[in-house]
Structure 1
Amino acid sequence: MKLCITEKPSVAKDIAKILGANVRNDGYYSGGDYCVTWTFGHLCQLKEPHDYTDGWKRWSLGSLPMIPAKFGIKLIPEASYERQFHVIETLAAQADEIINCGDAGQEGELIQRWVMQKAGVKCPVSRLWISSLTDDAIREGFSRLEPQQKFDNLYYAGLSRAVGDWILGMNGTRLYSLKYSSPGNVLSIGRVQTPTLALIVQRHFEIENFKPEDFWELKSLYRDVTFNSTAGRFSSIEEAEEALAALCGKEMTIQDVQQKQGRESAPRLFDLTSLQVETNKKWGWTADQTLRLIQSLYEKKVTTYPRVDTTYLSEDIYPKVPGILSQMTPYATLTSSLLQGKIAKNKKVFDNSKVTDHHAIIPTGQSPSVLVGDERKLYHLIALRFIAVFYPDCQFMTTTVMGSVESQGFKATGKVITSPGWRAVYEGSKDEKDEANDGDDKLLPEFTIGESGPQEPSLQKKTTQPPKYYTEGTLLRAMESAGKTVDDEELRDAMKENGIGRPSTRAAIIETLFKRRYISRTRKSIMATQAGIDLINTIKEELLKSAKLTGIWENKLRRIERGDYSAPQFIEELKTLMNEIVINVLSDNSNSKINTGVADSQNGKASGGASSVGNAPKPTKPRAPRVTKFEQVECPMCHHGHIIKGHTAFGCSRFREGCALRLNFSDYPDTLTPSKLKKIISKKSSR
């Protein structure tokens, strides 16, 4: 028997139909040689601290950092999950082969591997890897199943991400909650969540501390065309008025006229982030709302796999494009001209080097007739973008006219479209025109070099503006580029590997910040709340809130996927980091407490990145470990760590990295300070 395990019941139903497994049983389909069952997304999770030892059940500074010798998983304690897992476990024990039919991505791989690991799977496992759920795509996928081992690195990356989130989330949340929060409150810390909040708080202070300044621009009206001074802006009204007076009653002379032909490519195909940015800009949708809608379109088979970070198609998609376009019958007036000739194979669309597991989001060609409301709007956006990339470039003529009044230079520019190309796709409603209109098109009259005539100078007063609050769209872009503002598409592509989080997780991170009440929304603007500001101000460790560093971690996770970086090394680096953070925070003698963060009123749990962090502390003051009272002194054995005092012995802060220094209080009195202890050790070593 071959057992197929999918991620959702709806996907199981589609696959079962293709395989002829048409008998519906309790928790699975069966028929012929196949059984098809499903998970509900995550059925398993990493164990919580109290699952490893009773000592970690109570929140205590003395137990930090909590680093299990080996991380384990457990079933999520919900009756429906336990029931479905029992079905999977029973079928897996009878199977001769298992086919992993989970979502074809890092999270999907992790979900399936954990379930199979928990079920104790012993038989061979194959992997179904598809980019859409159409019948043809499913059949094609089953005709070329891959050995599961081919996707081991994907699993290692997903596992490293989950473990990394556990290490920083569980330890960071307990550490900062116990050290700095008011009784009963939880300060939620996360590997991705905290630097994202730091971006929003940083923008808050940029706006709050901004001091507006007035400036003046000099302009001249000549032949009904406004020319701008090439001298730039004036910082004082006196200087500006002096320049204006010098121009009054003088004529303008045209010094130069240049015309250049230009071309403009169609906007790139959508990846998940650019789709979320676009829908937020057009309709104010949240990132989570767009993710839920595009996931629904994928499951309804009208668009391809959505959780992608590339705007390119692989070259094997090229032969399928005419078929997809021909099936998009509601758009026949736009596709007919394309189908009359050969579809252009543009490197800006088809590039294998820019595609890893999945290509950009495109229509499958299946009829969108089942869609209504926002789903139909979203499909229309994707469909037009797909059609537009196969149209010719838009061609235009740019005119630049240089003039002078006395010694003052002036410049006017205009752009006229000579051939609309892809812009013709967007002729229609206002929203569609916005896609094609860059607001810079204007026709200039014909000017001749040497001509002159009367002009009307004027001053325009302006004021410098503070940065704008993030919208969900601009925040997603900031997360994608690790906090850097990037408009150039090529540069943006290059920075994606160093972004904060992944396209599939960023919406959830933003929603978590809203849930924790660290941020709030006013119309489209996202603002930091006082709780969010207080939390970031409390975190002295730049490592925890650095967008750049988090981007470096993300880069390493991607390298684990590719097989050129070690998952154990990534985890060891995070363990070291957590050790250093604990020592530094405990060494802070500040006793100030802040009333920030939110304790869950129902179960007393809080988010620690990817998982809950256990019971929140009672409003009692915990006993801090004695290490907080001592200065940092270099460990004489490894020369990298610091001497710390535990409850029974002195040791090194890098004991988890292999430093074997241990000096029991029976041999070295616990009244010794680390500096005195170091002198004693040094004397003994020199004998």
Structure 2
Amino acid sequence: MVTKVLCVAEKSSVAKAVAGHLSGGRFTTRNTSNKYIRNYDFDYRFSQWDHCQVTMTAVQGHTEEIDFIDRYRKWSDCDPADLFDAQITKNIDKSKQSIADNIQKEAKKARVLFIWTDCDREGEYIGTEVRAFARRGNASIEVKRAQFSNIERTHVIRAANNPKDLDERQAMAVAARMELDLRIGAALTRFQSLKLQGRYGLAPDALISYGSCQFPTLGFVVDRYMRVKNFVPETFWYLKLLHTRDQNTTTFNWDRSRLFDRMAVVLLFESCMAGGTALVKAVARKPSKKYKPLPLTTVELQKQGSRFLGMNSQRVMKAAEALYTSGFISYPRTETDQYDQNINLQALIGKQKDDTGNWGWGQYAQNLLDGEFDQPRRGKHNDKAHPPIHPVAYVTSPALPDADQRKVYEFVVRHFLACCSKDAIGETTTVNIDYGGEGFHASGLTVIERNYLDVYPWDRWESSQMLPRYQEGERFTPNEVTMQDGKTTAPGYLTEPELIALMDANGIGTDATMAEHIEKIQQREYVFSMQKNAAAGTSSRGTGRGRGRGGRTASASSRGATSSGGNNIFVPSNLGVALVEAYDLIASDMSLGKPFLRKEMEVNMKRICNGELSKEAVVHQSLEQYREVYAKVSLRLDQFRQTCARYMQSNTGQ
């Protein structure tokens, strides 16, 4: 008897692509009652189940949602604190009931359920949802999952013939996170909204939303803003020496860099001037390298996409997801920055050598195959699930549907080729001199071999000032020695790459969700994205008090710039500052605007995945911590409101 296998992917585009690879393009299509989902029927010989009749279908991400039972859904029916313990129910999203029905129906005729959801925590959880729907139609169905990192044909076939088990621990970690986000988010959203509605310019029905990842993200923006706002410049003084030889003028910088005591610098300057000639103490020439980039992770893709491509992280990830589902790049959500020894990097390079689309890297790829190849660097991170992001197929620029995909694809390919290249080679020369008892130095760089820089234009490493020949022990008379002053400058407002780096270092969100959290605090108008030149010379956040989600800026540029990337900075609204400052004041050791509570939660999620903690233990511990913060703020409600008023009742907020 022929075995019937039901395959379920996380996205309809992946379902169609996998069906095409396994069937050799010979499948039939059936419509379902959901207009976005198709069933694909074909035959395939699996190594584990032999010749099979296969139906390939899909879900659309999560099909189920959790919520409180009816008794707790109306804000007026309970105290927000009750939500920390309120009964929760799980229901199928009404718009996706047809998807669950389709899986249940098809499972009745199948012996095996083969899950093709994305291979990450979220994918494992969605896989458990699919399993539950299938077992409603066939309680004894065998369940396996495919482990894959891209949907290139050979990779898909390898995954099809090496089925794995669902990772129950990863699914439990997602279940814990979902419950905590619901309980904590709902309790604090209701608390903030109910206590501040109709005050300080907020609407009577203002929704002041809380998220346990969004608030620490907001906290980073507010912290940097306050450092800029409270910065007091200081005057410093320094010495500078110039010497001209062979028609080249060399600048020698002071070894002390700068001092904040003017009289001390005056005395040192006078001592130098009395010294007469300068003595060359040492001349050092040594080889120098500029290291090629590490293999590409999700966090680095978002940071560099914002910095180099002029795109915010949300756009970068949307384009990367589209390239992945089209089969052009590997899975774009990975923490791994080291390639497995078994991956055939030469074969991947070979796909880029016939550059018919004129990207400009065809000959470079050929050179790598002809002997210029160098093993990629190995980073310190490996999530054991997916390789670094890399191209898996060649595609011409016109074949990609939009500019964002073209930019991201070019970056991924060039980054990959750079990883497989040699480091750039140079030579640095440093001359150290003594003038009147004070040390000065000058450095110069000569680039000898550009190597990876030829394919990776975003890194710059160029020859600097050409130093004349100096000999150790020689003396010369400087052409000019000056005492100059300057002022310390405030740090800049946070850019998106800097914000992503802070989130990554402090465990706020995952590589898969950071872009969403940044987008969310902008949607809530707790933070505005502004062009750097629009923000220059001002310490204002935007003068509005808000519509309930945050202060509305008066600047059109700050509203219109949210889709840009590395050229933008983040500035908090009045409400954004007020909330963070209020929590910092009242619950400083456990402030919701700091990363500590959420970071601990994320660490505990990993401990669930490793089998060190149960879902129930993690949920209980986190709820107790947030319940304690809630209690502190409730007891000091007047102080909470007064702090918010201080920042929101003044239009300037200064």
TM-score bracket for the superposition, by shorter chain length: 0.7 to 0.9
SS for the counterpart of 2:91 is strand
Q: Which has the bigger relative contact order, CA under 8 A and spacing at least 6?
A: 1
CA distance in structure 1 between the aligned counterparts of 2:527 and 2:117, rounded to whole angstroms: 34
Q: Is the 8 A contact 2:84 2:627 kept in 1?
A: no
TM-score relative to the length of structure 1: 0.77
CA distance in structure 2 between the aligned counterparts of 1:108 and 1:543, rounded to whole angstroms: 32
CA distance in structure 2 between the aligned counterparts of 1:97 and 1:69, rounded to whole angstroms: 38
Once the two structures are superposed, residues 532-568 of structure 1 have per-residue CA deviations (whole angstroms, 9 ceiling, x without a partner) of 1112123233342221332222122123223333322
Q: Is the 8 A contact 2:294 2:419 kept in 1?
A: yes
Amino acid at match of 1:29: Y
Q: CA deviation at 1:572?
A: 1.1
Corresponding residue number in structure 1 for 2:366: 336
Amino acid at match of 1:163: E
Structure 2 residues not aligned, in runs of 5+: 33-38, 44-52, 199-203, 356-360, 532-567, 648-654
Q: CA deviation at 1:2?
A: 1.1
CA distance in structure 2 between the aligned counterparts of 1:459 and 1:187, rounded to whole angstroms: 54
Corresponding residue number in structure 2 for 1:35: 55
Structure 2 residue 381 is the aligned partner of structure 1 residue 361 = no
CA distance in structure 1 between the aligned counterparts of 2:80 and 2:444, rounded to whole angstroms: 68
What is the aligned length?
564
Corresponding residue number in structure 1 for 2:561: none
SS for the counterpart of 2:446 is strand
Q: CA RMSD in A?
A: 2.5
Corresponding residue number in structure 2 for 1:397: 427
Amino acid at match of 2:175: L
CA distance in structure 1 between the aligned counterparts of 2:184 and 2:598, rounded to whole angstroms: 12
Corresponding residue number in structure 1 for 2:535: none
Q: CA deviation at 1:447?
A: 0.7
Corresponding residue number in structure 1 for 2:234: 213
Amino acid at match of 1:547: P
Alignment of 1:362-511 (within 5 A): 362-369=390-397, 370-371=399-400, 373-426=403-456, 432=457, 434-437=458-461, 441-455=464-478, 456-482=480-506, 499-511=507-519
Q: CA deviation at 1:441?
A: 3.5
Identity %: 23
Structure 2 residue 255 is the aligned partner of structure 1 residue 255 = no
Q: 1:357 to 1:133 in 2, by over 3 A?
A: same
Once the two structures are superposed, residues 409-450 of structure 1 have per-residue CA deviations (whole angstroms, 9 ceiling, x without a partner) of 111122222333322334xxxxx1x4132x674432211112
Once the two structures are superposed, residues 489-535 of structure 1 have per-residue CA deviations (whole angstroms, 9 ceiling, x without a partner) of xxxxxxxxxx2100110111111101100000111011101111112
Q: CA deviation at 1:380?
A: 1.5
1:132 to 134, 140, 150: 150
Amino acid at match of 2:314: D
Alignment of 1:1-12 (within 5 A): 1-12=4-15
Q: 1:385 to 1:589 in 2, by over 3 A?
A: closer
CA distance in structure 2 between the aligned counterparts of 1:447 and 1:563, rounded to whole angstroms: 64
SS for the counterpart of 2:443 is strand
Structure 2 residue 75 is the aligned partner of structure 1 residue 58 = yes
Corresponding residue number in structure 1 for 2:118: 103
Q: Is the 8 A contact 1:312 1:355 kept in 2?
A: no
Alignment of 1:272-671 (within 5 A): 272-317=298-343, 320-328=344-352, 329-330=354-355, 331-341=361-371, 343-346=373-376, 348=378, 354-369=382-397, 370-371=399-400, 373-426=403-456, 432=457, 434-437=458-461, 441-455=464-478, 456-482=480-506, 499-523=507-531, 524-539=568-583, 540-541=586-587, 542-590=590-638, 592=641
Q: Is the 8 A contact 2:113 2:134 kept in 1?
A: no
Q: Is the 8 A contact 2:250 2:442 kept in 1?
A: yes
Alignment of 1:52-201 (within 5 A): 52-59=69-76, 62=79, 64-68=81-85, 71-78=88-95, 81-118=96-133, 120-121=135-136, 122=139, 123-148=141-166, 151-182=167-198, 183-201=204-222
Corresponding residue number in structure 2 for 1:24: 29
CA distance in structure 2 between the aligned counterparts of 1:315 and 1:237, rounded to whole angstroms: 59
Q: CA deviation at 1:364?
A: 0.5
SS for the counterpart of 2:83 is coil
Once the two structures are superposed, residues 436-492 of structure 1 have per-residue CA deviations (whole angstroms, 9 ceiling, x without a partner) of 32x67443221111211221101332211111111111110111111xxxxxxxxxx
Q: Is the 8 A contact 1:304 1:363 kept in 2?
A: yes
Q: Which runs of 4+ in 1 moved over 6 A?
A: none
Q: Is the 8 A contact 2:273 2:436 kept in 1?
A: no
Q: CA deviation at 1:579?
A: 2.8
Q: 1:59 to 1:501 in 2, by over 3 A?
A: farther
Q: Is the 8 A contact 1:326 1:332 kept in 2?
A: no
Q: CA deviation at 1:96?
A: 1.4
SS for the counterpart of 1:469 is coil
SS for the counterpart of 1:334 is helix
CA distance in structure 2 between the aligned counterparts of 1:534 and 1:69, rounded to whole angstroms: 29
